[in-house]
């Protein structure tokens, strides 16, 4: 396989009904109105030379390589900035144009190093290509003139160099930073010949606002902005298309390799989730996959106090099977279980739940989605009938108002955040409901219309008040409700009650009533209003209630079932959606079908040849409780560091210590493996062959760029354990697993690796009725028939500030790190976030005598940890914030066992804490 | 017995101030006492006579000049206030042949009125144009401007009526009128003199434009080098608001128009209309590609009229006197008057407003009186630093957009800069490239790199190493910059270079054969 | 400090969500929820605790729901396969 190069049409596609017919070099082509001559030419196979144009950016017209000849027009207009007109006749190749293009190129090369042969971009340089294309043979100006060849290289970014001596001042990087990423960190400094790209106010890239998303590197037509890996390893020579394994955006990437070595990850333009964009994690932070910390051989030990012993696969698998069977023999079939990982592929997850249900013979399977988005599955199923978001990402381009609740996309879902920001620059409005002043409240070219600074734990009161305003101010979409929904009358009566009015809940939520009313009117009167939310919604004692509250609000205003609207979870991990789809929950078989459903169970029983348990199994917290009770003693954990990521670390540790067999399958030894008896080396996404399903239900292929470093695919390991336990389970490859999923699960009926390889990706449901998948759900009716209004009483969490614990701790993510940090801490990303810090409002710090940079003790009723303080007025008074990327922080030492009433999703977002000064910051540090 | 004080006019124009007008005014006020009212008028445009002092007498305004502060006592003693004889006496101002022979339309009030007196403005025919315009429909106003044949005075000569019609036809609840007062061309000063000498005319012209196209906001973008013009405009705008000439109800009609002054940052390129719009939006002054044209997507993406000071300043007269009066002047497709600015090495520099069609020779030799140095004229650059250098053999050229274009030259903003026979035309050509290199916004390649290479190539030509090859290269470069540049800055830079090569090849040490 | 047994804590947390609803209706919803999501062992612990001496640790709505849950849990009503 060679390098894949997407076609670059030069300027973005225009959408619109009206089309225009033009003739280019004698070829007739019909394109949407507003399309550039350049793009129209490209669409009929004519490539016009270009340097400053690329189809991810609006035309700029600076390089003057793309000049063309148009009948009836004076001079030589630039084809990138000239829109087509009906009947236009264009010539792209004439001797005159050839001379002009050669003249431009001659100027460029007169100020460019002549080191093509030793340049890292040799062979992947548009300047080089164009010089060849226009037939430049000499530079008559010579090379003694004024030039920029002595400009220094900025190597401050850990992943890429900025070699100013090679810059052709095309502004593609500057424009990409603004138009694609929306950060506006780059600019052009100076004018005329002195024009040069500058990061921020003339400092280095690292000193600037640069978020290292790589858009500038991607846009650069030369080697000016170049991945350091290419400088060091050389140009890659083959491409494997795959999917990023970080967040739930699910960006498509081209893994570009030399042999088996990944040289760089390049965002894939035809990937529908990201359309050629990326963030610092997916683009650059893949080095963990080849980190020396990776444990590549299986290990076994009798007791967790024993040293590890590396063993062969056969011994490890035999050991696991034997010990599991022994536990079952001694304590019953239900004494063991497994946890699947949202980091793994659909196929890997499917075999884990199959192993538990068929080989273990129980339903004790759960997934790490338990601790993040289980309320989403519950809430949206109750109201709409399907446990997933309603839209595709692209839909936001049609939204007029975005209601963002409890999500911080610029840090946690950066590539989608860029889409949001672009839409905001086009004039859409955003309402942010979040205790923190996140970047989407205010940052360059972003200004939220309303920031509803809701107190942690009071979301339901907030959403109820919004619905109250809708109902009492005549903002209900009566037609939609009458045609499409049920139980509205009861709900209307409920929500109209005065206790839900903004004025009544102002004291609870802290959101001024007038602001809430104004925000609601904006949401309800927009043409298209969409709700986006994250773990700030789900990780609460009323997470499920809040999801249903949002679903109610969207239905009441008719914001469901078309582009630009909907209710959309931003999933934390790459395959949260998929791991839930695959039947990882103890009460559901694949496709969200209850284990008690005889027909569904029958399908699997026939295929799997085992009788399945019709009763729900244990959820993760129940497993821990049962372990402490002595009734649950064997656990298989796939790719999740529960000892670090689950709440109330002390309780989790006690539970793990009480078990007789803990099997950890992971890339690295981690907090959980400290309690493990068997360690099974896992595979990184670069070794996996399968699919991930992102937050928009998009099933993307994950293709291996190398064989498993451990010698076995994760699904093979699971199958072998099942086999060793006496249950025959075997697949030739992971495609067969998907075939089985498609065979058993109606929403996946049309999915196969062959289909995905052919069309790129599909969004479930994908079946005979929708062979290409379903970007927008509930268009003609809700999946459950009618959308159901659910009464959503606000019940305060039991976790509240007290005299002893007067502050509320809430948690989240930052851009450069990912979850427990197992991966990102093993990459250059530590340059941005070497440690977790505690963000605190200046007032809260002042009354405690705490200064910026001091180390403090963070104490809750269950535990204590230490952190450095960052004083930041983006926090409201009374709320502190931290991340959980570093194990040394142990943020979950302090979080409690409180959880969502319906799903037991932990209440990570609300913990009553106290903060006290431990060590002042060393002098000079602040 | 009390009598009306005598009115003495001393210009406030910065050209007059630069040669001591303030001191002259002070000295007159101090010495003459309460019997004198000193009015600081605009300049009549006879810059070699500044400070030009005028005294209102029953027989009209009598001019004296140039008056130095030291001359004041003597003048007063000699009976200045009565218009008495004196060696500096020039006679009735409007009888001075240089002025008498002009056709002042746009500049009719400049030098005559007190620029900051709304009453004076109205007394001299101000507001007649706006009043009439508001009695017509916008379509009728646009038609009138179209019929007048008024073309953009900034240099490009685009018909103002057509531009206005485009803006009028564009659907948008917000439209703008922007006045380009970033007068950066060397040897041009008419915009400044109008703003300093008769700011209400510009304000009125912009209000008419706003009415005609449906705009509600206007901006005057003035270069930072014109602090006096900025101050004068701001004061005049305040006065216009007080009088109800601007604001929510202009002249008490259901028409609102707000006007603001914005000051540039010293970049020549911001005189290019799209760069100016970028700068007005608070961005880096960088040229935008067209389309979209500003008339459809201009300031903040809204339909926008962008016109030069002189264009907008001509509109009140057109509306007051009717299109036919304006169209009756001029030649060919160049209708009305142009405000020529004589500068450089010229004996009598200043403002010559006259109908199109006057010849270059009449301007330079007639009005200008040849060089100030007394040496023979060798070259004249018309139309600013990007205009062509013309030899005396082309003094027959009529000032007319099309005639100049045919001669590979341009009328531009009407600047005429005179050089005597000591000029080195290779150095002037080099200067054109250097100017472009210094002032290029840096966006397009031909301008950004080409101008720097142009300087280098001209140096090599002059050094004479491989002249034939380098002349060919320069020719190719000029062709590339003309055809390939994004805006007129790079596109016109070759004009002075090529005209110097064409008309003065000897200065480059080249024979005609070598150039071909 | 003695920890409240998880099944009691969780049942009470569910009940409190339905406190403002009609008690009979609420009890049905709670029973439905527990039947659908709890494993049988936890469910029988709840039923056992509800029928024994409750010492006031269980919400009255939970007691009512528990009555609906006993004796043996059957297939969950209203749960059908859906896409």
Q: Any idea what DSSP says for residue A356?
A: I
Distance from CA of A448 to the nearest CA of B (A): 20
Alpha-carbon gap, residue A796 to A807, rounded angstroms:
16
| Residue pair B473/B456 in contact by the 8 Å Cβ criterion | no
Q: Flag if B448 and A192 touch (Cβ within 8 Å).
A: yes
Burial B202-223 (b: 16+ CB within 10 A, else e): bbbbbbbbbbbbbbebbbbbbb
C-alpha–C-alpha distance, residues A368 and A645, integer Å: 9
pLDDT of residue A572: 85
Candidate from A616, A631, A783 with C-beta closest to C37: A616
Q: With 90 as the cut, is the pLDDT of residue C53 above it?
A: no
User: What's the mean pLDDT in A57-70?
Assistant: 96
Q: How many CB atoms lie within 10 A of CB B135?
A: 11
Nearest CA in chain C to A593: C81
Per-residue model confidence (pLDDT) at position C54: 62
Contact A191 B267 (CB under 8 A): yes
SS (H, E, C) B181-227: ECCCCCCCCHHHHHHHHCHHHHHHHHHHHHHHHCCCEEEEEECCCCH
In three-state secondary structure terms, A225 is strand
Contact yes or no for C14 and A593 at CB 8 A:
no
Kindly report, residue by residue over A705-714, the tens digit of the pLDDT. Answer: 999 999 999 9
Contact check, Cβ <8 Å, A192/B477: no
Nearest one of A224, A242, A198, A115 to A690, comparing CA atoms: A242
- From first CA to last CA, the distance across chain C in angstroms is 46
Smallest CA-to-CA distance from A41 within A8, A71, A18 is with: A8
Mutation pick from B451, B483, B489 vs chain A, by most beta carbons of A within 10 Å, is: B483
For A261-312, how does the pLDDT look when each residue is reduced to its tens digit (9 = 90+)? 999 999 999 999 999 999 999 999 999 999 999 999 999 999 999 999 999 9
> Which domains does chain A show, CATH number per domain?
19-123 (3.10.20.740), 153-290 (3.30.70.20), 317-372+575-744 (3.40.50.740), 374-569 (3.40.228.10), 807-925 (2.40.40.20)
CA angle A148, A153, A157 (to 5 degrees): 145
Q: Quickly count: other Cβ atoms within 10 Å of residue A235's Cβ.
A: 17
- Give the integer Cα–Cα distance in Å for A653 and A651: 5
Of C9, C17, C36, the CB nearest to A587: C36
- Residue B29, CB-side half-sphere exposure with 13 Å CA sphere: 12
The structure tokens listed for A732 are 């030739």
Instruction: Look at C39 and A617 and tell me if their CB atoms are within 8 Å.
Output: yes
Kind and range of the H or E element at A584? Answer: none
* Residue in chain A nearest C18 by alpha carbon: A793
Q: Are B327 and B149 in contact (CB under 8 A)?
A: yes
Asked if pLDDT for residue B391 goes beyond 90, the answer is yes
Q: Strand A309-310 relative to strand A299-300: parallel, antiparallel, unpaired?
A: antiparallel
CA angle C23, C29, C32 (to 5 degrees): 140
> If you write DSSP's letter for every residue of A402-434 in order, what string do you get?
EEEES--HHHHSHHHHHHHHHHHHTT-EEEEE-
- Chain A contact present for C20, CB below 8 A: yes
Compute the average pLDDT of residues A689-716: 96
Yes or no, beta carbons of B286 and A103 under 8 Å apart? no
Extract the tokens encoding B164: 């206005």
Strand partners, A30: A21
Q: What is the mean pLDDT of residues A637-655?
A: 89
With touching defined as 3+ CB pairs under 8 A, do chains A and B touch? yes
User: Among partner residues A63, A140, A192, which is closest to B473 by beta-carbon distance?
Assistant: A140
CB distance A765–C75 less than 8 Å? no
Instruction: Output the pLDDT for position A575.
Output: 94
Q: What is the pLDDT of residue A916?
A: 94
**What's the mean pLDDT when you consider all of chain A?**
94
3 state SS of A197:
strand
Pairing mode, strands A160-163 and A186-189: unpaired
Task: Note whether A361 and A334 are within 8 A (CB).
Answer: no
Query: Who contacts B198 (Cβ-Cβ below 8 Å, separation ≥6)?
Result: B42, B107, B109, B110, B113, B115, B121, B313
CA distances (Å), A197 to each of A194, A202, A216, A229, A746, in order? 10, 9, 11, 22, 53
Task: List the single range of A495-499, A795-799, B207-211, B221-225 with lowest mean pLDDT.
Answer: A795-799
What pLDDT score does C81 carry?
38
Whether C and A touch, i.e. at least 3 CB pairs below 8 A, reads as yes
Lowest average pLDDT, out of A2-6, A192-196, B142-146, B508-512, goes to B508-512
Selected residue with higher pLDDT from A923 and B180 = B180
Q: How confident is the model at residue A776 (pLDDT cuts 50, 70, 90)?
A: very high
Q: Chain A 881-920, CB below 8 Å of chain B: which residues? A: none
Touching partners of A (3+ C-beta pairs < 8 Å): B, C
The predicted-structure confidence for A871-908, as pLDDT tens digits, reads as follows: 999 999 999 999 888 877 777 888 888 899 999 999 98
End-to-end CA distance of chain A: 53
With b for 16 or more beta-carbon neighbours within 10 A and e for fewer, the A121-149 pattern comes to: beebbbbbebbebbebeebbbeeebebbe
Report the C-alpha gap between A578 and A351 in whole angstroms: 13
Distances (CA, A) of A542 to A410, A493, A882, A899, C16: 25, 21, 21, 8, 11
Tell me what the mean pLDDT of segment B104-117 comes to. Answer: 97
Task: Identify whether the C-beta of residue B158 lies closer than 8 Å to the C-beta of residue B151.
Answer: yes
Q: Is the pLDDT of residue C78 over 70?
A: no
pTM for the full model? 0.93
Q: Which residues of A775-800 are buried (b: 16+ CB within 10 A; e: fewer)?
A: bbbbeeebbbebbbbbbbbbbebbbe
What distance in Å separates the CA atoms of residue A750 and residue A740, rounded to the nearest whole number?
11
pLDDT digits (tens, 9 = 90+) for B300-343: 999 999 999 999 999 999 999 999 999 999 999 999 999 999 99
Average pLDDT of chain B is 95
What is the C-alpha to C-alpha distance for residues A871 and B229, in angstroms, rounded to an integer? 49
The torsion region of residue A108 among left (phi > 0), alpha (psi -120 to 50) and beta comes to: alpha
Alpha helices (H) in A208-311, listed in sequence order: 215-219, 228-233, 280-284
Given pLDDT bands bounded at 50, 70 and 90, which one contains residue A923? Answer: low
Complex ipTM: 0.93
Taking contacts as CB-CB distances below 8 angstroms, the residues of chain B near A76 are: 483-484
pLDDT score at C20: 86
Q: What is the pLDDT of residue A720?
A: 97
Confidence of residue B44 (pLDDT cuts 50, 70, 90): very high
Let me know the angle formed at the C-alpha of A235 by A234 and A237, rounded to the nearest 5 degrees.
Answer: 125
Q: Which residues contact A569 (CB under 8 A, 6 or more apart)?
A: A373, A376, A380, A388, A389, A533, A534, A537, A538, A695
Q: Give the β-pairing of A529-533 and A567-569.
A: parallel
C-alpha closest to that of A56 among A220, A201, A189, A211: A220
C and B in touch (3+ CB pairs within 8 angstroms): no
**What domains are defined for chain B?**
6-100 (3.40.30.10), 118-327 (3.40.50.11540), 330-420 (3.10.20.600), 425-515 (1.20.1440.230)
CB neighbour list of residue B181: distance below 8 Å, 6 or more residues apart: B191, B192, B195, B220, B221, B222, B223, B226, B229, B308, B309
Residue A81 C-alpha, separation from nearest chain B C-alpha, in angstroms: 6
In this structure, what are the phi and psi dihedrals at residue B68, rounded to the nearest 5 degrees? Answer: -95, 155
**B265 confidence band (pLDDT: 50, 70, 90):** confident
> Which of A903, A849, A249, A872 lies closest to A546 in space, CA to CA?
A903
Phi, psi of A668 (to 5 degrees): -125, 155
Task: State pLDDT tens for residues A206-242.
Answer: 999 999 999 999 999 999 999 999 999 999 999 999 9
Residue B58, judged by CB atoms within 10 A of its CB (0-12, 13-18, 19+), counts as exposed
Instruction: Assess contact for A100 and A77: CB atoms under 8 A.
Output: no
**Interatomic CA distance for residues A727 and A362, integer angstroms:** 13
The Cα angle at residue A370 between residues A368 and A373, in degrees rounded to 5:
100
Q: Which two tokens stand for residue B189?
A: 């000063």
Secondary structure (H, E, C), chain C: CCCCCHHHHHHHHHHHHCCCCCHHHHHHHHHHHHHHHCCHHHHHHHHHHHHCCCCCCCCHHHHHHHHHHCCCCCCCCCCCCCC
Place of tokens 């590549």: A296
């Amino acid at each position: 396989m060679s390098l894949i190069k997407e076609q670059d049409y030069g300027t973005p596609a225009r959408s619109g009904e009206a089309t225009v017919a033009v003739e280019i070099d004698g070829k007739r082509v019909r394109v949407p109105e507003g399309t550039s001559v350049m793009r129209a030419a490209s669409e009929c196979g004519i490539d016009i030379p270009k340097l400053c144009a690329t189809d991810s950016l609006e035309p700029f017209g600076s390089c003057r390589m793309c000049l063309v000849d148009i009948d009836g027009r004076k001079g030589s207009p630039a084809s990138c900035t000239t829109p087509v007109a009906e009947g236009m006749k264009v010539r792209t190749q004439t001797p005159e144009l050839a001379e002009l293009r050669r003249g431009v190129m001659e100027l460029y090369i007169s100020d460019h190093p002549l080191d093509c042969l030793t340049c890292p971009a040799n062979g992947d340089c548009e300047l080089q290509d164009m010089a060849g294309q226009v037939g430049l043979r000499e530079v008559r100006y010579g090379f003694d003139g004024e030039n920029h060849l002595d400009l220094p290289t900025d190597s401050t970014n850990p992943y890429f160099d900025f070699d100013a001596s090679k810059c052709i001042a095309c502004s593609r990087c500057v424009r990409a930073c603004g138009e694609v990423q929306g950060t506006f960190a780059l600019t052009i400094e100076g004018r005329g010949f002195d024009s040069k790209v500058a990061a921020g106010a003339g400092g280095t890239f690292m000193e600037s606002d640069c978020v290292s998303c790589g858009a500038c590197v991607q846009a650069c037509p030369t080697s000016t902005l170049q991945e350091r890996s290419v400088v060091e390893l050389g140009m890659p020579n083959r491409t494997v298309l795959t999917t990023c394994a970080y967040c739930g955006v699910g960006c498509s990437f081209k893994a570009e390799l030399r042999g088996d070595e990944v040289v760089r990850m390049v965002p894939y333009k035809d990937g529908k989730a990201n359309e050629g964009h990326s963030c610092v994690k997916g683009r650059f932070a893949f080095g963990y996959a080849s980190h020396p910390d990776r444990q590549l051989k299986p290990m076994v030990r009798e007791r967790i106090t024993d040293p590890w012993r590396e063993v062969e696969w056969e011994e490890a698998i035999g050991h696991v099977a034997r010990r599991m069977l022994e536990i079952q023999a001694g304590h019953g079939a239900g004494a063991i279980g497994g946890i699947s990982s949202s980091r793994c592929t659909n196929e890997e997850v499917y075999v884990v739940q199959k192993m538990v249900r068929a080989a273990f013979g129980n339903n004790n399977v759960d997934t790490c989605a338990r601790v993040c988005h289980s309320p989403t599955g519950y809430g949206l199923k109750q109201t709409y009938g399907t446990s997933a978001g309603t839209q595709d990402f692209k839909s936001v381009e049609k939204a007029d108002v975005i209601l963002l609740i409890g999500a911080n996309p610029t840090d946690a879902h950066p590539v989608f955040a860029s889409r949001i920001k672009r839409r905001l620059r086009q004039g859409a409005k955003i309402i942010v409901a979040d205790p923190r002043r996140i970047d989407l409240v205010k940052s360059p070219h972003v200004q939220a219309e309303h920031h509803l600074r809701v107190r942690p734990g009071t979301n339901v009161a907030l959403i109820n008040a919004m619905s109250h305003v809708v109902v009492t101010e005549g903002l209900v979409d009566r037609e939609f409700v009458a045609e499409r929904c049920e139980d509205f009358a009861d709900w209307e009566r409920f929500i109209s009650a005065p206790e839900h009015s903004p004025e009544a809940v102002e004291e609870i939520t802290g959101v001024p009533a007038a602001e809430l009313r104004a925000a609601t009117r904006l949401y309800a009167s927009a043409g298209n209003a969409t709700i986006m939310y994250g773990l700030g919604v789900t990780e609460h004692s009323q997470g499920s209630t809040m999801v249903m509250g949002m679903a109610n609000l969207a239905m009441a205003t008719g914001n469901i079932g078309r582009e630009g609207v909907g209710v959309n979870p931003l999933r934390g991990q790459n395959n949260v959606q998929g791991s839930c789809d695959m039947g990882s929950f103890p009460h559901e078989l694949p496709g969200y079908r209850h284990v008690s459903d005889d027909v569904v169970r029958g399908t699997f029983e026939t295929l799997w040849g085992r009788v399945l348990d019709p009763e729900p199994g244990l959820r993760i917290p129940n497993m821990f409780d049962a372990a402490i009770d002595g009734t649950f003693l064997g656990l298989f954990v796939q790719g999740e560091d529960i000892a670090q990521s689950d709440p109330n670390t002390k309780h989790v540790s006690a539970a793990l210590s009480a078990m007789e067999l803990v099997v950890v399958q992971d890339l690295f030894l981690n907090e959980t493996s400290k309690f493990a008896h068997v360690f099974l080396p896992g595979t990184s996404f670069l070794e996996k062959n399968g699919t991930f399903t992102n937050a928009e239900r998009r099933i993307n292929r994950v293709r291996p760029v190398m064989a498993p470093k451990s010698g076995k695919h994760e699904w093979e390991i699971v199958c072998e354990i099942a086999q060793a336990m006496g249950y025959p389970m075997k697949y030739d490859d992971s495609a067969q697993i998907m075939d089985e999923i498609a065979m058993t699960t109606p929403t996946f009926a049309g999915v196969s690796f062959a289909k995905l390889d052919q069309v790129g990706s599909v969004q479930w449901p994908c079946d005979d009725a929708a062979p290409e998948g379903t970007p927008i759900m509930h268009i003609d009716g809700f999946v459950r028939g009618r959308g159901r209004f659910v009464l959503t009483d606000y019940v305060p969490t039991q976790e509240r500030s007290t005299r002893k614990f007067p502050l509320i701790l809430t948690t989240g993510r930052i851009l450069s790190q990912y979850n427990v940090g197992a991966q990102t801490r093993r990459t250059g990303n530590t340059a941005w976030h070497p440690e977790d810090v505690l963000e605190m409002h200046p007032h809260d710090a002042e009354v405690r005598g705490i200064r910026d940079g001091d180390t403090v003790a963070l104490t809750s009723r269950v535990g204590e940890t230490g952190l450095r303080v960052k004083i930041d007025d983006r926090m409201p008074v009374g709320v502190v914030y931290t991340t959980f990327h570093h194990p040394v922080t142990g943020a979950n030492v302090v979080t409690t066992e409180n959880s969502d009433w319906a799903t037991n999703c932990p209440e990570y977002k609300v913990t009553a804490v106290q903060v006290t000064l431990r060590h002042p910051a060393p002098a000079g540090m602040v | 017995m009390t009598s009306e004080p005598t009115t003495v006019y001393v210009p406030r124009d910065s050209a007059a101030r630069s040669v001591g007008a303030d001191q002259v005014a002070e000295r007159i006020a101090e010495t003459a006492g309460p019997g004198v009212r000193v009015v600081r008028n605009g300049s009549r445009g006879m810059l070699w006579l500044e400070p030009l002092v005028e005294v209102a007498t029953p027989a009209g305004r009598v001019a004296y000049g140039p008056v130095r502060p030291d001359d004041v006592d003597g003048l007063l003693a000699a009976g200045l206030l009565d218009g008495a004889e004196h060696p500096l006496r020039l006679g009735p101002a409007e009888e001075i042949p240089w002025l008498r022979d002009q056709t002042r339309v746009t500049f009719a009030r400049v030098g005559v009125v007190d620029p900051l007196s709304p009453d004076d403005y109205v007394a001299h025919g101000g507001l007649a144009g706006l009043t009439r315009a508001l009695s017509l429909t916008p379509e009728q106003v646009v038609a009138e401007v179209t019929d007048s044949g008024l073309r953009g005075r900034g240099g490009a000569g685009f018909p103002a009526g057509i531009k206005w019609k485009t803006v009028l036809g564009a659907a948008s609840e917000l439209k703008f009128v922007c006045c380009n007062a970033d007068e950066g061309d060397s040897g041009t000063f008419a915009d400044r003199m109008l703003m300093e000498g008769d700011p209400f005319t510009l304000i009125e012209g912009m209000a008419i434009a706003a009415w005609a196209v449906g705009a509600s906001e206007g901006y005057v973008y003035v270069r930072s080098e014109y602090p006096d013009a900025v101050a004068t405009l701001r004061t005049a705008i305040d006065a216009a608001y007080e009088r109800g000439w601007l604001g929510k109800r202009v002249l008490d009609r259901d028409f609102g128009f707000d006007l603001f002054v914005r000051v540039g940052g010293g970049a020549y390129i911001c005189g290019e209309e799209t760069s100016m719009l970028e700068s007005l939006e608070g961005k880096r002054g960088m040229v935008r590609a067209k389309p979209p044209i500003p008339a459809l997507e201009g300031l903040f993406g809204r339909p926008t009229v962008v016109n030069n000071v002189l264009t907008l300043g001509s509109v009140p007269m057109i509306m007051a006197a009717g299109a036919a009066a304006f169209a009756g002047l001029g030649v060919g497709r160049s209708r009305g008057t142009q405000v020529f600015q004589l500068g450089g090495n010229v004996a009598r520099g200043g403002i010559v407003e006259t109908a199109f069609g006057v010849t270059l020779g009449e301007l330079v030799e007639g009005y200008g009186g040849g060089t100030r140095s007394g040496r023979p004229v060798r070259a004249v650059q018309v139309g600013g630093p990007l205009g062509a250098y013309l030899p005396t053999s082309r003094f027959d050229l009529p000032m007319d957009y099309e005639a100049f274009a045919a001669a590979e030259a341009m009328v531009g903003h009407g600047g005429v800069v005179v050089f005597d026979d000591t000029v080195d035309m290779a150095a002037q050509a080099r200067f054109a490239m250097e100017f472009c290199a210094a002032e290029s916004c840096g966006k397009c390649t031909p301008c950004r790199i080409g101008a720097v290479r142009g300087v280098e190539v001209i140096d090599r030509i002059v050094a004479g190493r491989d002249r034939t090859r380098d002349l060919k290269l320069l020719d190719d470069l000029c062709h590339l910059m003309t055809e390939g540049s994004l805006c007129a800055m790079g596109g016109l830079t070759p004009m002075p270079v090529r005209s110097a090569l064409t008309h003065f090849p000897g200065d480059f040490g080249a024979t005609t054969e070598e150039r071909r | 400090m003695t920890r409240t047994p998880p099944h009691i804590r969780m049942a009470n947390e569910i009940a409190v969500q339905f406190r403002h609803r009609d008690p009979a209706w609420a009890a049905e919803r709670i029973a439905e929820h527990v039947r659908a999501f709890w494993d049988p062992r936890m469910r029988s612990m709840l039923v056992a605790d509800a029928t024994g001496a409750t010492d006031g640790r269980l919400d009255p709505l939970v007691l009512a729901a528990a009555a609906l849950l006993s004796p043996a849990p059957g297939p969950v009503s209203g749960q059908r396969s859906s896409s």
